[in-house]
Amino acid sequence: MKEKILEKFLRYIAIDTTSDPESSTQPSTQKQLNLSKLLVKELQEMGVTEVGLDQYGYVMATIPSNLPAGKKVPKIGFIAHVDSAPDAPGANINPQIIENYDGNDIVINAQKKMVMKVEEFPELLNYKGQTIITTDGNTLLAADDKAGIAEIMTAAQYLMEHPEFPRGEIKIGFTPDEEIGRGVDKFDVEKFGADWAYTLDGGEIGEMEYENFNAASAKIFIQGRNIHPGYAKGKMINAIILASEFNSLLPVEQRPEFTQDYEGFFHIIRFDGTVESATIQYIIRDHDFNKFEEKKNLIEESITYMNKKYGNGTFKLEMKDQYYNMRKQIEPHYHIVEKAVDAMKMAGVEPNIKPIRGGTDGARLSYMGLPCPNIFAGGHNFHGRYEYVPLESMEKATQVILNIVKLYAQE
């Protein structure tokens, strides 16, 4: 199984699928379809049924039930996303495969003096003796979420090659644009046809999440006034300075680098500016809905304050909610979490149920009527050049998928 997972994973990460938050199309980049089309072809070659790719970039497919006629069990879905994050280059990925990892520091790129030190990444020691796949320091690895895709595809292949393995009807879905918060904008839950589903989009082995951040984005436009600096007294309004002043109004201790667990944050993700005009962008996160609303209110109050100080229209705000904490939708169906926990234990994996400090397609799907907790895909250090994934973790995730299928078939 490990060889099949590795083969698939390397094939998928060779395809650049970086999404684009500035694009208004869906998918946001056409190159995502290159992987989607490949997945359709592979699923069809396996003999999976109802395989399709729609105009928005969604791949859906069905593995038919092999249970005795008349036995009804829930239809279970498994979902992963094809896009990779725009935070780091995603083209021409050149993975390094480190077999029998010895527990020492890993040189990512000698020329750039990039070293993944055990002192800084102590979780590496959990994978001593295993096969670790890293980047070469020039790109991300795209284990987020091509590890999840490889795991689902390997499980699908196993099920099709082993008709004796008991299964109810299984639904498979691959989405575009998850990394830019638009992964399920046009996802047809009714067409997908699952009763419950799981995203394979989590981190290290054993992770299981059914609660996530409430999330919003804020884009702020600042209009300055540029005057020759020699004659600027009383006239110049420097948009760069105003942007910096606005940022200082937000609490320092609520930045990502100072928060953990259930603590939310304001995260400035982009700044573009000249004296004449500037734009700053934030993401706003909190697990607690009331605190989430308080954070959004603080942004609005700060905009009002700055406009009173510098004149109406100096600051303009575009703020929108992105997704909500799926805990509220999952808890009434908590048995789907318990099934995943049992499936991990069957695979010899210690479950680690924790809140995800981020979001997945499953969060929004849960609010669209498809309860959808998140299971580990095995990777670490997502969205950056130090990303890596242990092959054995991907193998365990694949076993967990198969165990979930088996457990539901036994109902």
Residue 326: exposure state from Cβ atoms within 10 A (0-12, 13-18, ≥19): buried
Which whole-number Å values give the CA distances from 49 to 46, 109, 189, 239, 401, in the listed order?
9, 44, 18, 57, 19
Residue 145: is the preceding peptide bond cis (ω within 30°)? yes
Structure tokens at 80: 């992963």
Distance of CA 397 to the CA centre of its chain: 16
State the DSSP H helix or E strand holding residue 342, giving kind and residue range, or none if neither: helix 335-346
pTM given for the model: 0.86
Domains of the chain with CATH codes: 2-212+325-409 (3.40.630.10), 214-323 (3.30.70.360)
Neighbours of 349 (CB within 10 A): 21
* Cβ–Cβ under 8 Å, residues 339 and 349: no
Phi then psi for 20, rounded to 5 degrees? -130, 110
Phi then psi for 258, rounded to 5 degrees? -120, 15
Question: Nearest CA to 81 among 290, 365, 380, 352?
Answer: 365
* Cβ–Cβ under 8 Å, residues 199 and 374: yes
Q: How many helices and strands (H and E) does the chain possess?
A: 10, 17
Structure tokens at 57: 């970039």
Rounded to 10 degrees, the C-alpha dihedral 163/410/67/44 comes to: -50
Residue 6, amino acid:
L
Strands 207-209 and 352-353: parallel
Q: How far apart are CA 178 and CA 84, in angstroms?
A: 8
Catalytic residues: 83, 178
Q: How far apart are CA 237 and CA 235, in angstroms?
A: 7
Residue 143, amino acid:
A
Q: pLDDT 10s per residue in the chain (411 long)?
A: 899 999 999 999 999 999 999 899 999 999 999 999 999 999 999 999 999 999 999 999 999 999 998 899 999 999 999 999 999 999 999 999 999 999 999 999 999 999 999 999 999 999 999 999 999 999 999 999 999 999 999 999 999 999 999 999 999 999 999 998 889 999 999 999 999 999 999 899 999 999 989 999 999 999 999 999 999 999 999 999 999 999 999 999 999 999 998 999 999 999 999 999 999 999 999 999 999 999 999 999 999 999 999 999 999 999 999 888 999 899 999 999 999 999 999 999 999 998 888 777 888 899 999 999 999 999 999 999 999 999 999 999 999 999 999 999 997
Packing angle, helices 2-13 and 32-46, rounded to 10: 150
Q: How far apart are CA 77 and CA 262, in angstroms?
A: 28
